[in-house]
Amino acid sequence: MIDQIWAGESTKPVKITVTREMIAAYANSIQTDLEIYVDIEFAKRAGYDDIPAPPTMPVIFWQYFDVPWLQDAGPLIHRKQSFHYVEPLLASRTYVCSIQLLSVKKKQNKHGMMQLSNHKLNVAYNDCIHATAITTLIINEK
């Protein structure tokens, strides 16, 4: 379970360089074969400076973080996620990212108590937020 004391806290910023190879691998993993995710000339004709990342790609950014409030939380269930973009994420850029714990709530379900935690992943480039992702995780109380 997550201690309420962490609510509002953020992780240390992490630099994540998005590469064309990373985008192609992610696109393959979600079984999309759209040319825009693998062909730079196609992406440029579509108006991008480089290959754009699929909209759900920030979900894999979590692997680069040490999230202190989740260290001893136990098994996690991914409940839902939403993505919001100011600018598309592009290959050949290094983004500065952090995760903030927005809220922690306890709730009763038919199996007992659970905890819902809402997180916000911020993705910035040149000190401007380009994307955010809101993630809700569930932790069942033992």
One-letter amino acid for residue 97 of the chain: C
- Sequence-separated (6 or more) residues with CB below 8 Å from residue 14: 61, 64, 65, 96, 97, 98
The answer to whether 29 and 142 are in contact (CB under 8 A) is no
Output the domain CATH number for residue 90. 3.10.129.10
Which domain, by its residues, includes 100? 4-140
Query: From edge to edge, which strands make up the β-sheet containing 14-18?
Result: 14-18, 93-109, 112-125, 128-140, 77-85
- What confidence tens digit (pLDDT) does each residue in 61-118 have? 999 999 999 998 888 999 999 999 999 999 999 999 999 999 999 998 887 889 999 9
Number of domain units in the chain? 1
Residue 142 has pLDDT above 80, yes or no: no
